[in-house]
Chain A
Amino acid sequence: DGGITQSPKYLFRKEGQNVTLSCEQNLNHDAMYWYRQDPGQGLRLIYYSQIVNDFQKGDIAEGYSVSREKKESFPLTVTSAQKNPTAFYLCASSRGQYTGELFFGEGSRLTVL
């Protein structure tokens, strides 16, 4: 079955550590996205990528980094510079011609101890 796989589902981190969240898709979609979800704030866009080897900052990119070396993969690194990293992170993808129909993974919940 085609879809988006995020891992790990749950992750705990000590302050000052970088962590990388994995996102893999087998839908052959060109575009991929990372969102952050916090209670009462909906979804906020962190980074997105329209094609391989290219990505753009979203609304809240500070303290995060991404790479897009392969079409299927779009990992997100939460760096120690991110002041409030505890959140639910969602990866999504869409076809190249963006129609608003995003396909989401099941999410990764990061907790900073």
Chain B
Amino acid sequence: GNSVTQMEGPVTLSEEAFLTINCTYTATGYPSLFWYVQYPGEGLQLLLKATKADDKGSNKGFEATYRKETTSFHLEKGSVQVSDSAVYFCALSGVSNFGNEKLTFGTGTRLTIIP
């Protein structure tokens, strides 16, 4: 079945540092890949997505490239801010046992940015 493996946290960085959160996946076919973010006390929000190999998703200074050869979708940001402190989830879309599309989430990576 489909699975997503994320870099274990927590991750603590200083403001303006470079961020990488690793994500690799196992899937059949050609899934779409996503990063969701969860700020403290809130639900998840879609951060970015990529629907085919070599696509780059980007939003709010974050980027991730769909690498089919390495089955990866690593999240990067060049200069993090305190407001980026949150939990980040990698996810992929695939087909459920009922033939419907469903999302499979990674376990999440907690990021804390120190001023």
Q: Give me the interface of A with B, judged by CB distance under 8 Å.
A: 4, 6, 40-43, 45, 48, 50, 56, 58, 90, 92, 98-102, 104-107
Contact = CB atoms under 8 A, between A and B. Distances in A.
A99 to B, nearest CB: 7
A105 B43 contact: yes
Contacts, number: 54
Interface of B: 32, 34, 36, 41-46, 49, 89, 91, 93, 96, 98, 100-103, 105-108
B93 to A, nearest CB: 4
B59 to A, nearest CB: 12
Nearest to B46: A101
B102 A45 contact: yes
* Residues of B contacting A: mostly: strand
**6 tightest CB-CB pairs across the interface, nearest first?**
A104-B43, A42-B107, A100-B93, A98-B101, A43-B105, A42-B105
Contacts of B107: 40-42
Contacts of A106: 41-43
B89 A101 contact: no
B45 A104 contact: yes
A26 B98 CA distance: 27
